[in-house]
Amino acid sequence: MFTGIVEELGHVVALEPGADSARLTVAGPLVTSDAVHGASIAVNGVCLTVVEHDSEQFTVDVMAETLDRSSLGALRAGDRVNLERAMAASSRFGGHIVQGHVDGTAAILTRTPGERWEVVQFSLPHALARYVVEKGSITVDGVSLTVSAVDELDALGAVDTESSGDATFSVSLIPTTLALTTLGHKEVGDTVNLEVDVLAKYVERLLTTKETSA
């Protein structure tokens, strides 16, 4: 489990594609400082398992499911990536519950600079819109963020199926996030990984099961 507090801005050393998978090597001396074989490290919000490592970099295998659901398959050597080690039981819980299981991808639609922050608007796939609420938590490329606005939802929180395109959501990025994560370097049109709040999915599942069994 992770918290969405990025520890290090690493970079891709190599992405070697296979028939139905890929092998990814990433440079990140902080997250590899205590790495062991089998350790979990989140790369742009995707939980991956270390299969090789040294003091400067680590290598992971990325399965087809992960390549299909995330933006990892588009990475190239030199690309910057957000890195976070799995949370230790004794650590402070700085963000929110993040599993490292990407639910889908989104595109950056707009970036609006402020005096000391920046408002960034993203597309929001219809299938995920019901889990995203204003002032709720969302993970974008592994970064725990607070949703500042959600658009194209009706009063009940359901997607407006007659509107064209995806719903949208916005977040406000502080200087630290802009400086220390990939979100400070992404441009309009770039793709990011999304993980919605897992608590919302469990609540929906429990309510659906209750209605079915009633």
In the chain, CATH 2.40.30.20 covers: 8-85, 104-204
- The tens place of each residue's pLDDT in the chain, 214 residues long, gives 899 999 999 999 999 999 899 999 999 999 999 999 999 999 999 999 999 999 999 999 999 999 999 999 999 999 999 999 999 877 778 889 899 999 999 999 999 998 889 999 999 999 999 999 999 999 999 999 999 999 965 433 444 444 445 699 999 999 999 999 999 999 999 999 999 999 888 888 888 876 666 5
Q: Specify the DSSP class assigned to residue 70.
A: S
Closest to 48 in 3D by CA, of 202, 56, 37: 37
User: What is the maximum alpha-carbon separation in the chain?
Assistant: 56
The CATH code that applies to domain 8-85 is 2.40.30.20
Distance between CA atoms of residues 59 and 61, nearest Å: 7
Its pTM stands at 0.88
The CATH topology of domain 104-204 is Elongation Factor Tu (Ef-tu); domain 3 (2.40.30)
DSSP-derived pairing of the beta strands 80-85 and 8-17: antiparallel
Distance between CA atoms of residues 105 and 190, nearest Å: 10
Rg (CA), the chain: 18
Distance between CA atoms of residues 49 and 41, nearest Å: 6
Q: Which two tokens stand for residue 131?
A: 């889990």
Distance between CA atoms of residues 144 and 137, nearest Å: 7
Distance between CA atoms of residues 178 and 63, nearest Å: 30
